[in-house]
Structure 1
Amino acid sequence: MTKILMTGVTGNVILSGYIGGTVLTRFAQRPDFENFDIRCIVRSPEKAEKIKSQIQADCDDVDAATGTLQGLKKRFEKTGSKPIFINTSGTGVLSDTAAGMYATDTIWDDANPEQMATLKPTQPHRPVDLKIVSADAEGYVNTYIILPPTIWGISRGHLFDSGISNKKSVQIPALIWASLDRGQAGMVGLGKNIWHNVEVHELSDLYSILFDAVLSSHPNLGHGREGYFFGANEEHTLYQVGKSISDVMFKMNKSKGGEPSTFTKEELDKYFNGSSYLGSNSRCRSNRSKALGWAPKKTTEDMLESIYPETELVIEIGALTASEKL
């Protein structure tokens, strides 16, 4: 029986559990699910019991990554068999300081380890990523890092319906709430910056496909320095998101519609802790992921159409504090 440890499965309606809960739900749908001994690190005994009856990790938490790697090293020393570590990072590691004022021509390729190695250690998520890659280089673990971009869509299933896991993402809901609160759709700068996007259930497919590839020693698989896997499909500008939010707010009688306007400095402070991160560029190509057979179908148009139900969910959940958005 294959033993699997999952973190980031539980959360609340605002924070964690969105990706982890969706991945666990995806694994529960596999025909070979009974062959897995899955253990989950959860936030409370109550949530542990809920998970048992129905079947939080942080990508910037260096201490959590260190502790996990130490445990894996002890296991290797005891058994002589290399464990597998699949970690969730994010394409925020590619972000720049555009502040919504321009699009970049730089596109990062997960199949180009030389390019990935040029990322500065001060980039978001990078300290954890480097620690994980370094552990692989030491030889006691094979590591794989999945980097999602803007994730969209409302997660479904028992984990989400019961409140164990958070059913919504971060970036678009944060923009939605700020726009609702100010009475007009907003954007950072001119919204010219570009990000890639992925639907959450299609992202969970990548975890399942990568897992199978690792166990089967897939010929296109790399690990460590060559173990980056972007979970990205199509591109969008921040302006497109802002305009769609504006159209949805108009349909809901929440605003007069029209063009999204630029967040003021005071609004960036209020809604996003003063950060212009949502105005950064994060462009990439999922060549290594797609070489494994991952084939996402949902488009940017699908993402924009999802803003209506996501707005309904944001209204249902209520206000977010600034620290809970980014």
Structure 2
Amino acid sequence: MSTVQKIPVLFLGATGYLGGSVLSRLLAHPSAKSLEITALVRSEEKAKKLEAFGLKTAIGTIQDLELLETLASQAHIVFSIINADDDPHMQAILRGLKKRHATGDVPILIHTSGTGVFVSHANGMYATEEVYDDNKPEQFEALPHEALHRSVDELVIAADKEGYAKTYIILPSTIYGIPSTPLTRAGIQHAHSIQIPFVTKASIGRGQGGKVGKGASRWNHISNDDTAELFTVVYEAVTKPGNTVPHGREGLFIGENGTYAWGEVSDEIAKVLFEKGVGKSPEATTFTSDELVQYFGSEFVGNLLAGSNCVGVANRSRALGWKPKHTKADLLASIKAEVEAALKQ
């Protein structure tokens, strides 16, 4: 009796805040039995836990470039949900995919970038009027090579243009919410994002909810759950035989479900801290320059994380059939749990 050949998948970011949620959906997907998923992880402990879910594992980091190249050369599909600003590891993945292509396959790369690629600095003083549309690749092509995430995105798009892989880039915005997945319950997946927890911890450190500048700058928001669903929708679409999903320079998929002002998030943090007796006022006050250095590492990082503008629209993502459910009200409601988690830490 012949056995059906499984599709080899390389998954990078299995233990991460977003990657774990995407992987959980992939493991529960109707196609899961047809996949042979290999996850790159740092520790034997996490490897054993993932193997209990039916995965193969490799021990290493994205700095192990030869290993990364070998693993990619063995995969038909690569999910890259890791550092979006490191050229060498992406170059290693692409070398591997080029080797895979030489065997007669056209591999698929689903890469995670972020809307930070079109961030503009405002120091929290004003909202942007510029909006990026994932249906307009020319907007992205006009971005400087030095823009956040851009150099890696350029490598990914160039690989598609050369024809040895089909590439798709997903660009989440501010991701929020504490995920509850089989992988978080197994102690595998990291449960917290970056931007809002950073502001939360800084606010706790100073004993008062804080904002950058006037809190006027705006970003898009997207829940962890809706972001993982976007990956699922893209995966389903691009693996469907005969699909006509745009790839390469047009294969851009923003993750957003509206916008928020950073001041709204900061005020909600301040409100929760005040209710818990940690903050002096239910309204956020402005971080001083010294506080930005103390709690964010530098004024630049503080302004980037919570004082910049970054607004896009997910027209191409929605056209693919993606329907995000969680709104700004859900974003603001999620902050209480983030504050409580940070206070416990």
Common fold, TM-score beyond 0.5? yes
Aligned AA (1:71): G
Paired with 2:241 and 2:222, the residues of 1 have a C-alpha distance of 26
Matching residue of 1:282:
310
Paired with 1:37 and 1:235, the residues of 2 have a C-alpha distance of 38
- Given candidates 69, 72, 91, the residue that maps to 1:66 is 91
- Given candidates 147, 153, 165, the residue that maps to 2:171 is 147
Matching residue of 2:42:
43
- Residues 87 and 142 of structure 1, relative CA distance in 2, 3 Å threshold: same
**Cα deviations across residues 264-290 of structure 1 (Å, max 9, x unaligned)?**
111111111212102111100000000
Q: Is the counterpart of residue 212 in structure 1 residue 236 in structure 2?
A: yes
- Displacement over 4 Å in runs of 4+: 217-220
Q: Is the counterpart of residue 54 in structure 1 residue 49 in structure 2?
A: no
Q: Taking structure 1 as the reference length, what is the TM-score of the superposition?
A: 0.92
Q: Is the counterpart of residue 203 in structure 1 residue 227 in structure 2?
A: yes
Cα offset, 1:256, TM superposition: 2.7
Q: Is the counterpart of residue 2 in structure 1 residue 7 in structure 2?
A: yes
Higher strand share: 2
What percentage of aligned pairs have identical amino acids? 42
Structure with more relative contact order (C-alpha pairs < 8 Å, separation 6 or more):
1
Paired with 1:217 and 1:99, the residues of 2 have a C-alpha distance of 47
Give the SS at the match of 1:18.
Answer: coil
Give the SS at the match of 1:41.
Answer: strand
Paired with 1:252 and 1:157, the residues of 2 have a C-alpha distance of 28
Paired with 1:181 and 1:217, the residues of 2 have a C-alpha distance of 53
Gaps of 5+ in 1: 11-16, 319-326
Native 8 Å contact 2:273 2:282 kept in 1 = no
Cα offset, 1:219, TM superposition: 5.9
- Residues 191 and 218 of structure 1, relative CA distance in 2, 3 Å threshold: farther
Considering only aligned residues, what root-mean-square deviation do their CA atoms show, in Å? 1.3
Gaps of 5+ in 2: 1-5, 55-60, 62-81
Paired with 2:181 and 2:36, the residues of 1 have a C-alpha distance of 20
Native 8 Å contact 1:220 1:292 kept in 2 = no
Give the SS at the match of 1:104.
Answer: coil
Q: Is the counterpart of residue 81 in structure 1 residue 109 in structure 2?
A: no
**Cα deviations across residues 70-95 of structure 1 (Å, max 9, x unaligned)?**
00000101x22210000011111111
Q: For this pair of structures, how many residues does the alignment match?
A: 310
Native 8 Å contact 1:54 1:158 kept in 2 = no
Aligned AA (1:70): R
Paired with 2:151 and 2:211, the residues of 1 have a C-alpha distance of 29
Matching residue of 1:322:
none
Cα offset, 1:258, TM superposition: 3.0
Paired with 2:22 and 2:171, the residues of 1 have a C-alpha distance of 14
